[in-house]
Amino acid sequence: MDFEFTEEQQSYAQEVQEFLDHNDDPDVFDVTRENMAQIVDTPKRRAFMKRLGERGWLGMTWPEKYGGQDGEGIYEYILNEALARRGGPQIGKGVGIIGKTLIRHGSDKLKEEFLPKILRNEVEFAVGYSEPQAGSDAAAMELKATRDGDGWRLNGQKIWTTSAHFAEWYWVGARTDSDVPKHYGISLFLIPMDHPGLEIQGIHTIGDERTNSVYFDNVYVSDDYRVGELNKGFQYISEALDLERFTMFTYSPIDQRLELLTDYVKEEVRDGEPLKDDPIVRQQVARLTTEGEVARVLGLRFVAQSMKGGKPPTCEASAYKLYATELSKRLANASTDIAGPGGQLRVKTKDAPMEGRAESTYRYTVIDTIGGGASEIQKNIIARRKLGLPKNF
């Protein structure tokens, strides 16, 4: 495959950069929030994303019949990476996860209600898969959905629902049949977050961000808001997770932090000697730079495979997510080590090495290796689906 952008793609990338320059705002863009910078959690961030929608940049890869442009995935990739590099909100959940799943599996009613709102950025979603006893193993979820007339009553708990405290709708999986193997008794639902039966409790992370536990007390949802076929929710969740593993773990922030570390090493002097002349430091930076190029190419391979049509490429998504997030953690560790004692100073401390980015990324990057399926889950997916290994090995 060709890893270079065409002239048309380069022109679009330049257009995106000019738009971001024109709309630069510290209340919208904050690289120090690391991967959590992608969430659209403030009025200013929502207004910014609405401007993206007005330019037709949301849902570019969607079919024209649903308001998209039938565009190639590489343009969505260029946009998302540019947003991520600035520490800005991204297109992830609404366009990439909920929207694309509804297009493939949603009813006409759900498409008509939600797809136009997503393109105009008039709705935010929370995603509810994880539970206290079912973290990365989404198929083990136990949130109980009991048939009640033309709908369902949901009781139980979700955890690690990052957007629950500001989203309007909940994209949630629940067990609708307990008498079949765990992968076959799950259904997907859309529930308004202001439902009186939902209770949201905040959980504050080591990365200075908020996620949530969500409790369901006799929450009613009609069949009109069930996504796709009954008991096939895990299939849809798996497809959506393939998209999440790529679109929500972008490469640009890793590349940016690698540049920051490299510039620091070039300029820093320690014990009267240039840090760049230390052979151990040179080896670390060279290795990370090489691994960064591997992560970039793995991302482009996912894009190339996804542009062939059909379901998102599972193994490519897992390979990229596993490699990129583990690399991000290795980079954070190396930055902290190379910065020395000053690497422990808090982010945005002016006198700290790299203005404290080493300290913040050391805390944040742990989260990335868990969200969207922990690294162990990605290894299992690759082992079974790419290498053909048995489940018990």
**What's the pLDDT tens digit per position in 322-364?**
999 999 999 999 999 999 999 999 998 988 999 899 999 999 8
Query: What's the token pair of residue 237?
Result: 């969740």
CA atoms within 13 A on the CB side of 263: 9
Q: Tell me, what's the pLDDT at 264?
A: 96
Q: CB of 248 within 8 A of CB of 254?
A: no
Domains of the chain (ranges; CATH) run 7-90 (no CATH), 126-232 (2.40.110.10), 249-386 (1.20.140.10)
**Average per-residue pLDDT in the chain?**
92
Whole-structure pTM over 0.95, yes or no? no
- Is a pLDDT exceeding 60 seen at residue 393? no
pLDDT tens digits, one per residue of 62-76: 999 999 999 888 899
pLDDT tens digits, one per residue of 185-212: 999 999 999 999 999 999 998 888 899 9
pLDDT tens digits, one per residue of 1-25: 566 889 999 999 999 999 999 999 9
Going by C-alpha positions, the residue among 166, 46, 15 that lies closest to residue 117 is 46
Q: Tell me, what's the pLDDT at 3?
A: 67
Q: Tell me, what's the pLDDT at 372?
A: 80
Q: Tell me, what's the pLDDT at 249?
A: 86
